[in-house]
Amino acid sequence: MTDTTLNTLFDELREWRDAGWIRSIDLAFVEFLQQAGEARNEVLLAAACASHEAGRGHTSVNMNALQTEPESVLNLPPENRYSPNCTAPGGLFRQFGVNLETALTQSHCVDVEGNGNQPLVLTGGKLYLRRYWQYEAFIERDLQLRMSDRPVTNDDLLKSTLAKLFGQAGNGNNGDINWQRVACANTVRNRFSVITGGPGTGKTYTVVRLLTALQHQTLFLGLPPLRVSLAAPTGKAAARLTESIESELDTLRGDAKLASLKDALDSIKPEGKTLHRLLGVKPNSRTFKHHADNPLRTDVVIVDEASMIDIEMMTALLKATPKQARLVLIGDKDQLASVEAGAVLGNLCSGADQGYYHTETAQWLQQVADIADFPTELIDDNGERRLQHVVKFRKSYRFFGPIADLANAINRQDDAAVQQELEQARNADDEHSVQLYEVNSLDAPEFTELVRGSRSSPRLESFNHFDDYAKAVLDANTDFQILTALREGPWGVKAVNQKVGDILGVNANSWYEGRPVMVTKNDYGLKLNNGDIGIALKDPEHGHLRVAFPDQEHGVRWVLPSRLTHIETVYAMTVHKSQGSEFKHTVMVLPDHDSPVLSKELLYTGITRAKERLSLVGMFALGLNSKAC
């Protein structure tokens, strides 16, 4: 294609849509702009790219990068979607011969710096769909207000409470500082806080002590106990949060040294909810029951697995959280961001590795958290205000060994260390370690052996009640899980599920006893959430299949297969879907070739799902120098 007319541009975009490069909604958006009077190809193509990027989870697209390396920025052509009929993005952009940013500033469809109401916003060299620009602008304004308002605290009482909850303080060396203690102090001090750390760093351990410190402060003043809301993006993560807090509470309540904190401990009533349930989602809409005009009736909101929160949900959460309430986000900043647009936690924690604490912040934390010497390398009076509200945990108490070493090397983007860990894995014979299966096909005997060796289940005759058996089966299902980087193609989740079905001699997409399924859409009638996993079992008393789902209250909840309209088989799931979960043995299937999706965040997230054993199938020393936006 040489001279690109408006018609031929639309022909190209239709080819992109038909080949699966872009979505129908991306094309429809460009057609809308054309009907609104925009006739310049470069503006329309940039608009298509901005819409496409929103579908990939990015709130904006950088204009300079888009013009100089469009294929890399857009990940086009996508995995397994090459089409000889489609002109690559670079071929289209080269024909324009103009500066994209200049052309956009001249368009009546583009709002420069966000002062108007056009559908596109250009600011800071980035092009946004207006909705996402509004979300970002609102979040920034709201958090600035929350960070500027500090609640009243009794520092002496807080210091003594932390001493009871955490015992002897660290000696001031970076590795010895109890960052959990620091996080509690910093969170009590502020209305908005972020606690970030990798697996095993004690985030839930800290939540219970944080709630105790907050309640003790309140009860000391003669006020009613704080109303606490606990939430997570998925039902599974919410259930894990509740169980972890209940377990830790039992430990603290049994400690005689904490008798003076009994009232505070007894006032904590853990009940984790999904964010959708907390905010009161309205079926078939994007709105919630709770918002700025009808805020949550709460004093503290704590959200776990916050890396999974997208920009739209974060906006809804901030609107529903009263300005006088404390809001605490907890998660691993190095994990993958939400599938939807916006890496909220990652952006808030940018720079947390280096600290950037102001001298005043460091001195207060040193005094209240009882630190002998606050690390000078973490102090910088030019640090951003948001980083005064972030504490990063720097020590893992249970996640170590070869799996942790590989994950940490990937996170540091240390290629030499990664190769060293992989070489050690090739020579290791310890099954509780990292195992490599360098196969170029899922038909390889190694993969078949791996799948067959993993399928173990409790025996029905060992249980007096079928519900107890079902719960044991559900628990056993978390012992082994296959994760994939891709959804489509021969190495994608659909192909892997089909292959596992073939190995096990079942039709992976039909109903049979033992079929594991994942709910893919919230079902409020059945009280099932996106990401919930169930197992199809045949009750000998009734003689028909029912699907068992974990239930916090009753242990197991049964649902007829005919009532499950949004489910998929889940021998394998994508790494994105695995967030908030852990498995004794994780098998990570990666493609046999490099791919833009193999970012360090994806590799780190997948590897850290493994608690005891990690098996890597396919090519895995890839994607270490790319970073998800």
Find out whether 315 is annotated in a ligand binding site.
no
* Beta strand residue intervals within 91-191, DSSP E: 110-112, 120-123, 126-129
Report phi then psi at 374, rounded to 5.
-70, 135
Please count the other Cβ atoms lying within 10 Å of the Cβ belonging to residue 527.
14
DSSP assignment string, 215-238: HHHHHHTTPPPPPEEEEESSHHHH
Report the side by side order of strands in the sheet with 555-559: 555-559, 545-551, 533-538, 516-519, 567-569
Tell whether residue 383 is among the known ligand binding residues.
Answer: no
Using the structure block, give the residue that is written with the tokens 């910088």.
Answer: 380
Please, which contacts does 260-264 make with residues 24 or more away whose CB atoms are closer than 8 Å? 260/164, 261/161, 261/164, 261/165, 261/212, 261/216, 263/215, 263/216, 263/219, 264/212, 264/213, 264/215, 264/216, 264/219
Those residues with Cβ within 8 angstroms of residue 226's Cβ, 6 or more apart along the chain or in another chain: 214, 215, 218, 267, 299, 300
Confirm whether residue 222 is marked as ligand binding.
no
Residue 204 assigned to a binding site = yes
**Rg (the chain; Cα; Å):** 26
| 166 neighbors 176 (Cβ within 8 angstroms) | no
Helix (H, G, I), strand (E, B) or coil at 390: strand
Counting every residue, how long is the chain? Answer: 629
Residue 203 labelled as part of a binding site: yes
Q: How far apart are the C-alpha atoms of 410 and 603, rounded to whole Å?
A: 7
CA angle in degrees (0–180, nearest 5) for 315-316-322 = 100
Cβ-based neighbours of 7, under 8 Å, separated by 6 or more: none
Q: Which helix (H) or strand (E) holds 606?
A: helix 600-607
Backbone angles phi, psi at 273, to 5 degrees: -125, 160
Q: Is 333 annotated as a binding residue?
A: no
* Token reading at 504: 């096990």
583-590 vs 110-112, strand pairing mode: unpaired
Contacts 24+ apart (CB under 8 A), 3-6: 3/95, 4/41, 4/92, 4/95, 4/96, 6/34, 6/39, 6/41, 6/44
Pairwise CA distance, residues 556 & 471, whole Å: 6
Reading the block at residue 143, the tokens are 């958090």
One-letter amino acid of 559: V
199 is in an annotated binding site: yes
Closest CA to 615 of 413, 416, 451, 492: 451
The answer to whether 295 is a known ligand-binding residue is: no
Residues 425 and 610: beta-carbon distance below 8 Å: no
Annotation: binding site for ATP: 197-204
Q: Could you list the residues known to form a binding site, using ranges.
A: 197-204
